[in-house]
Structure 1
Amino acid sequence: MTKEDIYNSIADSIAEQFNLKREDIKPELNFLKDIDADSIDFVELVLDLEDHFDIEISDEDAEKLITLQNTVDYIAAKKGITA
């Protein structure tokens, strides 16, 4: 698995969950500003990420997941992926 795989997986999930066109999803996408995700939406997204990538995301870490790119970087770091 690469960072690109992680990115594509999350982008596909966001497109489906928030009824967005896949091509409109960019790395700088801000979960709170760009897709108007409320706290319940965000919790659901975090739970989906935990299940999909078989990781645990603490509440403290979840608060730092603001953009798609920093979420990809966070998951890659948790999985030990550098490329």
Structure 2
Amino acid sequence: MTFEQLKELICENFGVSEDKVTETADLQEDLKLDSLDAVELSMMMEEAHGVSIPEEKFPECKTIADVLKFANGGN
């Protein structure tokens, strides 16, 4: 999954403006996504791009870069 693909999912589904979605953006503080939003985002990522983040790992994702790392097979 690329940064641009993730950015598009977030902007289209959570009403976040494109300029706020950066690799260092904090999911909660900067993008105002809560834990339910994180679960929805994970499901959208799997449906749209075939990538998933294990449920127990998603709380470790604090920034966009973290989400990309786990989505692309990082630990």
Q: TM-score, normalised by structure 1?
A: 0.74
Q: Deviations over 1:21-78 (max 9, x none)?
A: 2133110111111122122211101111122231342221111121101111222226
User: Aligned residue pairs: how many?
Assistant: 74
| Higher relative contact order (CA closer than 8 Å, sequence separation 6+) | 1
For 2:71, the equivalent position in structure 1 comes to: 75
Aligned sequence identity (%) = 19
For 1:54, the equivalent position in structure 2 comes to: 50
Gaps of 5+ in 2: none
Gaps of 5+ in 1: 79-83
Instruction: Give the counterpart letter for 1:32 in structure 2.
Output: Q
* Bigger helix fraction: 1
C-alpha separation in 2, matches of 1:46 and 1:13: 10
Change (3 A) 1:77 1:58: closer
Structure whose CA Rg is larger: 1
Q: Calculate the aligned-residue CA RMSD, in Å.
A: 1.8
Structure 2 counterpart of 1:25, from 21, 24, 27: 21
C-alpha separation in 1, matches of 2:46 and 2:53: 7
